[in-house]
C-alpha cells in the first residue's frame, strides 16, 4: 500500500472540504446551531462536511471502515478505518474564532498510519504517513527541541463535561503555569497536535477526548520526532480518552501529570 499517495489524496479531500467550511463561515448564523449536549455544539456545516469527506475517502480506500463524530455513515472498525472529525473546533467556528480544523486519520488495526489536519482559517495543511515524515504545506516539520519547560509554551484543552477530575487537572495547570512560558487553550485538539508537530508548542495534554479529536494529529507528532502516550505513559490514547503529546519535554510533562492524576 502506498501511504504517501493515499495521504496526498486525503489532503486533497480535506482541502476541498475546508473550502466549503470557509465559504459557509461567511454566511453562518448562530441561530443554525444545534446542541448534542449542554456545551456540545453541532451545525449543518459539521454534518455536510462529514458527508463530503466520506464520499471522497470511499473512492480512495473503498474497503475501509469509518469512525466519525457526526455518524453520517455506518460506524465500525475494519482492517483499515478512517477516523474523522469534519470540523474540530465547532464552538470556535460558530462564534467566529479562527481556529478550527478538518481532521482525518487512517488507522490500520490499532495504529494510525496516515493523518491530515487542515486548519481552515490559516490555510495550513499538516499531513504525515508512517515512516514518511510530517509536513506543513509541503515543508517538512519537526517537534520542538527545547529541553526545559522554561523554554516552551504548552497547550491543553479544558473539560466541558465530566468534571470529576477537575481538581487534579487544576493542580497540573498550577504547576505548569509556574514553570513554562505559558499555557494555551485554543479549542481544537487537532490544531494543538499539529502545533506540537511543527514545534510551536513544546507539548499538549488533555482528557475526556474522543478518537476523532486526535486521530489525525497523532502521526503528525510521531513522524515529526515527538512522542504520544496516555496519562500513564502507555499507548491507550486513541480510545483511552486522554493524551500527552510532546517534543523533548514530553517526559517532563508526563511526570507532572502522573504526580497528580
For residue 165, give the 3-state DSSP assignment: helix
Nine cell digits for residue 230: 496516555
Radius of gyration of the CA atoms of the chain, in A: 17
Nine cell digits for residue 226: 515527538
Nine cell digits for residue 192: 494543538
Pairing of strands 101-108, 153-156: unpaired
Confirm whether residue 88 is marked as ligand binding.
Answer: yes
For residue 247, give the 3-state DSSP assignment: coil
Cβ-proximal residues to 223 (8 Å cutoff; 6+ apart), any chain: 128, 129, 130, 131, 132, 133, 134, 197
Nine cell digits for residue 148: 526545559
Confirm whether residue 69 is marked as ligand binding.
Answer: yes
CB 115, CB 127: distance < 8 Å? yes
Distance CA 169, CA 172 (A): 5
Confirm whether residue 213 is marked as ligand binding.
Answer: yes
Cβ-proximal residues to 192 (8 Å cutoff; 6+ apart), any chain: 155, 156, 157, 186, 201, 204, 206, 217, 245
Please give the DSSP secondary-structure letter assigned to residue 200: S
Nine cell digits for residue 160: 466541558
Confirm whether residue 85 is marked as ligand binding.
Answer: yes
Backbone angles phi, psi at 205, to 5 degrees: -145, 150
Please state the residue numbers annotated as binding site.
Answer: 69, 85, 87-88, 213
Please state the residue numbers annotated as binding site for Mg(2+).
Answer: 69, 85, 87-88, 213
Amino acid at each position: 500500500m502506498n501511504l504517501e499517495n493515499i495521504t496526498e489524496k486525503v489532503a486533497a479531500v480535506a482541502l476541498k472540504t475546508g473550502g466549503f467550511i470557509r465559504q459557509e463561515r461567511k454566511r453562518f448564523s448562530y441561530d443554525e446551531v444545534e446542541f448534542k449536549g449542554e456545551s456540545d455544539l453541532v451545525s449543518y456545516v459539521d454534518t455536510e462536511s462529514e458527508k463530503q469527506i466520506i464520499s471522497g475517502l470511499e473512492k480512495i480506500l473503498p474497503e475501509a471502515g469509518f469512525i466519525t463524530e457526526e455518524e453520517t455513515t455506518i460506524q465500525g472498525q475494519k482492517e483499515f478505518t478512517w477516523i474523522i472529525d469534519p470540523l474540530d473546533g465547532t464552538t470556535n467556528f460558530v462564534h467566529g474564532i479562527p481556529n478550527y480544523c478538518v481532521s482525518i486519520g487512517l488507522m490500520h488495526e490499532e495504529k494510525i498510519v496516515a493523518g491530515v489536519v487542515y486548519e481552515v482559517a490559516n490555510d495550513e495543511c499538516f499531513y504525515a504517513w508512517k515512516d514518511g515524515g510530517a509536513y506543513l504545506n509541503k515543508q517538512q516539520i519537526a517537534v520542538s527541541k527545547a529541553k526545559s519547560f522554561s523554554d516552551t509554551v504548552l497547550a491543553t484543552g479544558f473539560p466541558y463535561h465530566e468534571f470529576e477530575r477537575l481538581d487534579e487537572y487544576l493542580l497540573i495547570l498550577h504547576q505548569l503555569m509556574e514553570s513554562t512560558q505559558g499555557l494555551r487553550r485554543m479549542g481544537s485538539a487537532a490544531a494543538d497536535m499539529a502545533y506540537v508537530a511543527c514545534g510551536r508548542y513544546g507539548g499538549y495534554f488533555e482528557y475526556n477526548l474522543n478518537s476523532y479529536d486526535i486521530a489525525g494529529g497523532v502521526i503528525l507528532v510521531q513522524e515529526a520526532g515527538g512522542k504520544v502516550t496516555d496519562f500513564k505513559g502507555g499507548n491507550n490514547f486513541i480510545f483511552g480518552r486522554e493524551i500527552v503529546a510532546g517534543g523533548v519535554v514530553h517526559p517532563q510533562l508526563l511526570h507532572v501529570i502522573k504526580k497528580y492524576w
